[in-house]
Amino acid sequence: MTRTELVEKLTMQFPDLQLKDIDMSVGTILDGISSGLSKRDRAEIRGFGSFALNYKPPRKGRNPKTGATVMVPAKYMPHFKAGLALRERVDYD
């Protein structure tokens, strides 16, 4: 689901709210998560999951075109961990 699809679905669920208000709300939530991660904080939405950063240490990599060894610098990568309610809802075996 894309951001646009989410806004459209919320607009259909809540017809009394204006499209621009829903779009602004979704944007504010996503910006809050991004802002928190950029400060190396953790963001948690109860019943859905949590967003955190994983540290990837520097390592040796390989350029696939030339085969030359290159150093890949250390970096932080965003990581999502699904909450229990989401895992139970998705696991429908």
Domain ranges of the chain: 1-41, 42-93
Q: What is the pLDDT of residue 69?
A: 96
| Most distant CA pair in the chain, distance | 59
- pLDDT greater than 70 at residue 93: no
All residues at 6 or more sequence positions from 1 whose CB lies less than 8 Å from its CB, including other chains: 9
Out of 4.10.520.10, 3.40.50.150, 3.40.50.720, 3.20.20.60, select the CATH number for domain 42-93: 4.10.520.10
What does the pLDDT look like over 24-60, one tens digit per residue? 999 999 999 999 999 999 999 998 999 999 999 999 9
Q: What distance in Å separates the CA atoms of residue 86 and residue 93, rounded to the nearest whole number?
A: 14
Is residue 33 within 8 Å of 51, Cβ to Cβ? yes
Residue 67 above 90 pLDDT?
Answer: yes
SS3 52: strand
pLDDT at 21 over 80: yes
The stretch 50-72 carries a mean pLDDT of: 96
Percent of all residues in the chain with a pLDDT value above 90, rounded to a whole number:
92
SS3 50: strand
0.75 exceeded by pTM:
yes
